[in-house]
Structure 1
Amino acid sequence: MRLAKTISAIALAGVTAACATTGANYQPVIDGAVGPNYSNDLAQCQALASQQGAFDSNTAATAATGAAVVGGSTAVFNNKGTNVRDAALVGAAAGVAAGALQQQSNKETIVRNCMRQRGYNVVG
């Protein structure tokens, strides 16, 4: 059982690391013709987005909330100490994953807004 937890933690860390630049690599859909500076503008906007970390400032709170909700509900419905601990860890992991997904979305928004400010008609 201990090995399964270690493998799960390593897998979560790997997935989170893989998502670190995913949102920054976003290529928005542009309506209309693009000029000769498009590639340079896109690269600069993506670089701006990649300066953001893999997690936002709310990730710790999301992880704590996930741990509390899942751990608390497990304590109510299946009152065993090890189950509560394990459930709290799963809840915290879910909170961290949710924070990473939110940060990916934030990076995509940064790229879209940056391209709009450079005069592109971004539609998605």
Structure 2
Amino acid sequence: MKPILIAPAAMTALLGACADMGTKVDPILDGQPTAQFHSDLSACRSLARNQSQLDHETMAAAVLGAGLGGVLGEVDDDGDALGGAVAGALAGAAMGASEASDTREAIVLNCLRGRGHAVVN
């Protein structure tokens, strides 16, 4: 398969695998959960899940990774710019998706705190 076709397929697979990342956090509570806790946890996870993994920061990280990978691939005697750009874009997208996952986890925890639950982490 040509590298130009691999990049979109790999990017789609990466983001598909990350669809629930950050929303499956199991918060630590200070005390016993209230009767409303599980319902609120489900609602907060749904809220976090609605935050896109493919945001501006993820796209910027993928573009930056593609640029750096392309340059490094061109400079390397055995490498090529296209292969480096594909690898760099995937690495950048993975980094951006990881940051988006951290944001989603924070959304879940802050949402629970906002609903009155004593969340430690």
Q: For residue 14 of structure 1, what is the amino acid of its counterpart?
A: A
Q: What is the distance in 2 between the residues matched to 1:99 and 1:49?
A: 16
Q: CA deviation at 1:95?
A: 1.0
* Structure showing the higher helix proportion among its residues: 1
Partner of 1:114 in structure 2? 111
Gaps of 5+ in 2: none
Partner of 1:37 in structure 2? 36
Which portions of structure 1, spanning 4 or more consecutive aligned residues, are displaced by more than 6 angstroms? none
The number of residue pairs the alignment matches comes to: 121
Q: How does 1:71-90 map to 2 (within 5 A)?
A: 71-78=70-77, 83-90=80-87
Partner of 1:16 in structure 2? 15
Q: For residue 81 of structure 2, what is the amino acid of its counterpart?
A: V
Q: What is the distance in 1 between the residues matched to 2:4 and 2:70?
A: 16
Q: Normalising by the residue count of structure 1, what TM-score does the alignment of the two structures yield?
A: 0.83
| Residue-by-residue CA offset, 1:59-116 (whole Å, 9 max, x unaligned) | 1110111011121122223276xx1111111101111111111111111000010011
Q: Normalising by the residue count of structure 2, what TM-score does the alignment of the two structures yield?
A: 0.85
Q: What is the distance in 1 between the residues matched to 2:2 and 2:56?
A: 31
The root-mean-square deviation of aligned C-alpha atoms, in Å, is 2.2
Aligned sequence identity (%):
34
Q: Does 1:93 align with 2:52?
A: no
More displaced stretch, 70-79 vs 84-93: 70-79
SS in structure 1 at match of 2:91: helix
**Contact 1:71/1:91, CA 8 A, preserved across alignment:** yes
Q: CA deviation at 1:39?
A: 0.7
Q: CA deviation at 1:47?
A: 1.1
